[in-house]
Amino acid sequence: MTGSGPSRRLDSVLVEQGHAGRALVVVPAWNESEALPAVLVELRDKIPDVDVLVVDDGSTDGTADIVRTSGTASVVSLPFNIGVGGAMRAGFLFAERNGYRAVVQCDADGQHDPADIERLLAELDSGLDVVIGARFAGVGDYKVGGLRRIAMRFLASSMSRITGTRLTDVTSGFRASSARAVSVFAREYPPEYLGDTIESLVVARRAGLSIGQLPVELRERQGGRPSQSSFKSVVYLGRAVLVLGLAVLHRGAGKGDA
């Protein structure tokens, strides 16, 4: 672990311990060797008090080795690619077993500014369980076009109704979870496609967690390639609607106000 002294007893590693009061940044990474080094350096420089865990989701480009040699983050290496949802669930398990007070999910491509992490954590301190770093809430100039925007608008308004809070960006992968949320997510973080963004909020709502958002600015990707095309957007919209519908129906609907 990053901040622990060398004098720690061997057996203490296996016992839940040690990190009470600390927050953990979980970075799900799949073949992100290009952008990851810069992200790790920035995380260390901007938020030295927060531990970092990279979940290497079956990468084939040595992503895990980059983290190991950096020496500033821990790495959990999954044996094969299981998707962001599964990677995050591993992160939540890790956080729960090691007694962290909060988890912040942060992308490995440098789009999320580590400086915002402290702000997200501050929102948790004010009583929220899940805080979404939202891209459309007036800060920054993040824009998407056409169908994808329609899809995102639709999802945002549906999720706002389901959760009872005004949410403008439910597909953001930049979010903070309180200890309560961590123990819920460690048990049932939906590992399916889009489960980590949309369905997880339904799960959170059903577990009685409070949800909120915080405007953040999105930066240029520092490596890798973005995934947007109009055909993909149509597929995305279709699957999103399906996922949302199933999430709401799942075990006899949640709050009835959907």
Partner 1 sequence: MNITIIGVLAALAVLVLTVELLRRRALREKYAVIWLIVSIAAVVFTVFPGLLLRLSQRLGFQIPANFVFAIAALVLLIVGMQLSLEVGRLEDRSQRLAEEVGLLRHDIEQLRSERGTTSGALEADVSVAPPPGGSATDPGDGGSDFV
Question: Which residue ranges make up the site for partner 1 (CB under 8 A)?
Answer: 1, 6, 8, 10, 13-14, 55-56, 65, 68-69, 71, 74-80, 82, 86, 89-90, 93-94, 97, 191
Closer to partner 1 at the Cβ: 191 or 215? 191
The DSSP string of 175-230 is EEEEHHHHHHHHHH---STTIIIIIHHHHHHHTT--EEEEE--B---SSS-----H
Q: Which CB, 62 or 245, lies closer to partner 1?
A: 62
| CA dihedral of residues 72, 31, 140, 147 (deg, nearest 10) | -160
Q: Least distance from C-beta 230 to partner 1, angstroms?
A: 30
Least distance from partner 1 to the Cβ atom of residue 15, Å: 11
Residue 14 or 256 with smaller CB distance to partner 1: 14
DSSP 3-state assignment of 169? Answer: coil
Shortest reach from residue 2's CB to partner 1, in Å: 9
In angstroms, the CA 109 to CA 217 distance is: 14
Look-up of token digits 């998707």: 83
Phi/psi for 29 (5° steps) reads -135, 125
Q: Between 76 and 167, name the residue whose CB sits nearer to partner 1.
A: 76
Q: Least CB distance from residue 93 to partner 1, whole Å?
A: 6
Residue 89 CB, nearest distance to partner 1 (Å)?
A: 6
Which whole-number Å values give the CA distances from 182 to 18, 45, 56, 96, in the listed order?
Answer: 17, 25, 19, 7
Q: Which is nearer to partner 1, 66 or 124 (by Cβ)?
A: 66
